[in-house]
């Protein structure tokens, strides 16, 4: 099954946000996940990075989704030509914006995307032009729901032709709702449930991009949401480094972090003092 077919079949699919350009780490992440969410909104990544990361993801067996900097991104066509499996537009608050995005990811007559023989079309080597194959599988089109206004417009956005799913960004949504960024907050969960209902009524999928305690994340996902972008590569790496440093410090008194680690600094000072007295 293709990734699109898995999405439509409502498989539970797990990914993480990619904010670093390292290809080996991306391939490693892809080997354990269903998709990589390459982030052009909150990272320094570029279109060139997306091309390499997409190849690394395929090598690891995962699909690639790219979060745009904005729904009307001028690099959208270049990203699609790089062969990504889908795009995610942040901060979509109306059906009109969703409609423009959905058209931009599809070739005529269903959309407005221009054609070029690039990686997405196997460089023209073994696939006919998309106009000769109307059934050519289009990239997935997801929109993020991250504000009160977006929640209120969720029914209309979900019903927009060409939109494949709604993905909630709970941190920004909580901020716009004026509540703490706590996944267990009842008001956030109520907004999430509203988005889930809108997606279900329109026959499309819904999902979540969040980190935090797995139990809290699972509670937000409920039974409906089938896409989860859990945490981010930099956050997972930071958490792993913190655990490693704390564990080594507990048993050895040193730790990762060099001179910035208080215990390591004290150990070195004691060693220097000892050598000075011996001399």
pLDDT band at residue 279, thresholds of 50, 70 and 90?
very low
Over 70: is that where the pLDDT of 234 sits?
Answer: yes
Residue 194, pLDDT score: 97
| Average pLDDT over the chain, rounded to an integer | 88
Quickly state the pLDDT bin for 260 (edges 50, 70, 90): low
> Which of 103-112, 141-150, 161-170 bottoms out in mean pLDDT, i.e. has the lowest?
103-112
Fold entry, domain 3-278: TIM Barrel (3.20.20)
Average the pLDDT over 242-249 and give the result. Answer: 92
Domain boundaries, the chain: 3-278
Q: Which of 12-16, 41-45, 190-194, 247-251 has the lowest mean pLDDT?
A: 247-251
Percent of the chain with pLDDT over 90: 73
Determine the average pLDDT of the residues in 138-158.
97
Give the residue with greater pLDDT, 127 vs 23: 23
Q: Is 161 helix (H, G, I), strand (E, B) or coil?
A: coil
Q: Note if 261 is an active site residue.
A: no
Which pLDDT score is estimated for 174? 95
Note whether 189 and 219 are within 8 A (CB). yes
d(CA 244, CA 225): 33
Of the candidates 64, 69, 128, the one whose C-alpha atom is nearest the C-alpha of residue 101 is: 69
The token pair at 161 is 């032709």
Backbone φ, ψ for residue 19 (5° rounding): -120, -5
Answer yes or no: are the C-beta atoms of 87 and 74 closer than 8 Å.
no
Give me the mean pLDDT over the 150-158 stretch. Answer: 98
Quickly list H helices, the chain. Answer: 3-8, 23-30, 47-60, 76-81, 95-104, 148-152, 154-158, 170-177, 186-202, 214-221, 233-252, 262-278
Give residue-wise pLDDT tens across range 101-120: 999 999 888 888 877 777 77
Single pTM value for the model: 0.85
Longest dimension (CA), the chain: 85
Angle (CA) 171 176 178, round 5°: 95
- Choose, from 10, 32, 42, 131, the residue flagged as catalytic: 42
Partners of residue 67 on adjacent β-strands:
39, 88
Residue 123 pLDDT more than 50?
A: yes
The structure tokens listed for 197 are 């209902």
Q: Assess contact for 226 and 11: CB atoms under 8 A.
A: yes
Question: Cα–Cα distance between 276 and 258 in angstroms, integer?
Answer: 22
Reported confidence tier of residue 129, pLDDT bands at 50, 70, 90? low
Q: Would you say 113 and 105 are in contact if contact means Cβ atoms under 8 Å apart?
A: yes
Q: What is the pLDDT of residues 67-87, one digit of tens each?
A: 999 999 999 999 999 999 999
**How does DSSP assign 66-125, residue by residue?**
EE-SSTT-TTHHHHHHTT-SEEEESS--SHHHHHHHHHHTS-TTTS------SGGGGGGS
Instruction: Look at strands 63-67 and 35-39 and give their pairing.
Output: parallel
The helix-helix angle for 214-221 and 186-202 (nearest 10°) equals: 40
Kindly tell me if the per-residue pLDDT of 11 is higher than 70: yes
Q: What is the pLDDT of residue 255?
A: 54
């Amino acid at each position: 099954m293709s990734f699109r077919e898995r999405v439509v079949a409502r498989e539970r699919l797990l990914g993480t946000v990619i904010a670093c350009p390292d290809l080996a780490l991306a391939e490693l992440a892809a080997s354990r996940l269903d998709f990589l969410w390459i982030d052009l909104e909150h990272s320094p990544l570029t279109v060139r990075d997306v091309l390499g990361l997409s190849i690394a993801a395929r090598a690891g067996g995962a699909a690639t989704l790219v979060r745009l900097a904005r729904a009307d991104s001028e690099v959208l066509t270049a990203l699609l030509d790089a062969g990504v499996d889908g795009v995610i537009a942040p901060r979509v608050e109306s059906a009109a914006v969703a409609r423009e995005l959905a058209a931009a990811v599809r070739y005529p007559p269903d959309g407005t995307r221009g054609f070029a023989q690039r990686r997405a079309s196997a460089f023209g080597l073994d696939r006919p032009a998309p106009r000769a194959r109307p059934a050519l599988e289009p990239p997935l089109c997801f929109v993020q729901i991250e504000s009160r206004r977006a929640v209120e417009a969720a029914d209309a956005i979900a019903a927009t032709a060409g939109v494949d799913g709604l993905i909630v960004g709970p941190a920004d949504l909580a901020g716009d709702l004026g509540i703490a960024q706590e996944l267990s907050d009842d008001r956030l969960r109520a907004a999430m449930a509203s988005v889930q209902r809108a997606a279900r009524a329109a026959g499309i999928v819904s999902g979540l991009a969040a980190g935090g305690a797995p139990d809290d994340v699972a509670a937000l996902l409920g039974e409906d949401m089938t896409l989860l972008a859990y945490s981010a590569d930099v956050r997972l790496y930071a958490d792993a480094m913190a655990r490693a440093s704390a564990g080594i410090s507990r048993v050895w008194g040193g730790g990762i972090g060099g001179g910035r680690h208080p215990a390591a600094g004290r150990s070195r000072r004691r060693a220097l003092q000892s050598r000075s007295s011996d001399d």
